[in-house]
Amino acid sequence: MGTFQIDFSNSRKQRVVGIDLGTTNSLVAYMDVTAPKVIPGEDGEPLVPSVVSLTEAGEIIVGNPALQALITHPDRTIYSVKRLMGRGIDDVTEELKLFPFRVAGSGESVLKLSLGEKTFSPPEISAFILRQLKRNAEAALGEEVRQAVITVPAYFNDAQRQATKDAGRIAGLEVQRLVNEPTAAALAYGLDKRKDGVVAVYDFGGGTFDISILRLHEGIFEVLATGGDTHLGGDDIDNLLLKIALEDIESEWKQDLSGNGEAVQTLRRAVINAKHELSRLPAVTLVFDYAGKQYRRELTRPVFEKLILPIIERTLAPCRHCMNDAGLEPEKIDEVVLVGGSTRIPLVRASVERLFRAKPHTELNPDQVVALGAAVQAAILSGDVQDKLLLDVTPLSLGIEIMGGLVSRILHRNSTIPASATEVFTTAVEGQTNVLIHVLQGERELVKDCRSLARFDLKGIDPAPAGLARIEVRFLIDANGILNVSARDLRAGKEQSVEVKPSYGLTDDQVEAMILESIDKAQDDFQERQLREARVEADAILAAVEKARQNDAYFDLEESDRDLITRGLNELLVVYHGEDHLLVRAKIDQLNQATMKLAENMMNTAVNQALKGTKI
């Protein structure tokens, strides 16, 4: 009797690692027998600087060697590439002034950066960092690593998330999931061990700021609200101090060094070291030696804190909005977790404690906590860790354009993902055979104030009177926050769909301002929406009445009834372009009343025509 061949090659589960692809540093971690552990690099250090350089021999180097090359060959080195992920040239014009990067192909919408004689996109640069982390993991674990969970700022938009997935794919990694960095931090702290509670995770890293509020119940992590700023981080503090130092040096030496790449990067390193020292010392002396000259400046912690206070204050506004979104007062938040290297700054810790009225957790290394949490999530996905569930949210509402330039929201912000929602719409024109589906993201009521994500046509709709067609629009967001939109004609069965790809050329400032604008302008938006909805309704009745006036039933009316209809039309047209939606609706009602007898006559005529020649 024969036996089946046993394939042992697939009997072992694939290792899934967790990766924190950071602005300043990146890390890779894995789940050991009892706890997540960070994997050290070739030099024994767990932190891999997120720096990539091209040597004169044409070799790509990553991490600490590239960090050294940043001083000697700044024109062949790129850092803080995370700030450029999923963004277009117009988005980063101001930022590039602070970097020694050269942009190639400025006429293109996709950003390309020059490294010597070669050019790369931000995802390709990030892929070099991911490949180095992959090599580190394989060397430490003694096995091939193909799958990973990668963390992203909670406020990353669709383009930035897609760019991160692209970077993973280029690096030869199958990205199992993108996880919000603050959520990963909650996993690292083992907050699931609490039976119940509400936790605020304040993540202030090198290039981004995130705030998330999570509810924990019986091992389930649910993100109640999230917010942040993709254009705010420790780099802003570095750039501020660097600018002050350059101005001092120009005044003292009578020499402008801002265009000297090697000098600027050497000074940047001195500024960053001074910043780090001020987290533990009351004063520090900034020393910069260059070309036989020396610049010295004593910097005290009070002066430092006064300089950076506006930057720290910028992180607190999203925190307040996030609490408002979650419907919580500070007293209702049980624990506060600090994440990111910038949270080592005493002023940051004091400001957070004052805002949330609770002493924040600082037990874990803030540089490693996100990678450790990513490793826990990787273990959840691989089945090594059970009884935990992670529910993220979408940071902005998603919807489509409807008549009047209005937005119909289908998935509201802070909806738990993965998520799906369906709504049915109809046509506005008789005999319409195709519908344009315009996908939008934002919190405002009008299309012009929201972010356009995609457009596609649903073609082949069966011609029918206006309002008769039934078009089902479905929004689906997967676990990585990637959006798929489909539209289907319920009568004809025709269907079209689109996966929302990166949308370049749109500024992150527009996206990040949406929530604040929606709050500040809520009353104006609501009034504008009511006015536009009234005008859409007026358009429909005006068109219907004009068509009815061609019917024989109209001429059968008495002259006084026809005059009443004409007067109603004219009065509606007079107020149509006004700003009083109540007056527009009043005139719509008046015209409706004026056409009641006409509608009765048309109905009688239609019935008589249908029954003509019929015996009952």
Active-site residues, by number, are 20, 82, 181, 203
Question: Rounded to whole angstroms, how far apart are CA atoms 393 and 226?
Answer: 8
CB 407 within 8 A of CB 446: yes
Compute CA distances 198 → 27, 201, 221, whole Å: 28, 10, 10
CB 4 within 8 A of CB 185: no
Sheet holding 416-417, edge to edge: 335-339, 196-204, 209-217, 220-229, 389-393, 416-417
Q: Which position has the token pair 């809520």? A: 522
Tokens of 585: 């609706």
Q: Determine the residue type at 533.
A: E
Which residues 6+ apart lie within 8 Å of 66 measured at CB? 49, 51, 52, 53, 77
Coil, strand or helix at 230: coil
Of how many residues is the chain composed?
A: 616
Find the angle CA(502)-CA(339)-CA(168) to the nearest 5 degrees: 35
Question: Rounded to whole angstroms, how far apart are CA atoms 336 and 322?
Answer: 14
Question: Rounded to whole angstroms, how far apart are CA atoms 81 and 78?
Answer: 7
Question: Rounded to whole angstroms, how far apart are CA atoms 588 and 609?
Answer: 30
Question: Rounded to whole angstroms, how far apart are CA atoms 246 and 147?
Answer: 44
CB 489 within 8 A of CB 461: yes
Question: Rounded to whole angstroms, how far apart are CA atoms 460 and 469?
Answer: 12
Dihedral angle, C-alpha 116, 118, 124, 127, nearest 10 °: -60
Q: How many other CB atoms are there within 10 angstroms of residue 558's CB atom?
A: 9
**Beta strand 147-152 with 174-180: parallel, antiparallel or unpaired?**
parallel
Coil, strand or helix at 348: helix
- Letter string b/e over residues 567-592, b meaning 16 or more CB atoms within 10 A of that residue's CB: ebbebbeebbeeeebebbbebbeebe
Q: How many other CB atoms are there within 10 angstroms of residue 603's CB atom?
A: 11
For helices 559-576 and 596-611, give the axis angle rounded to 10 degrees.
120
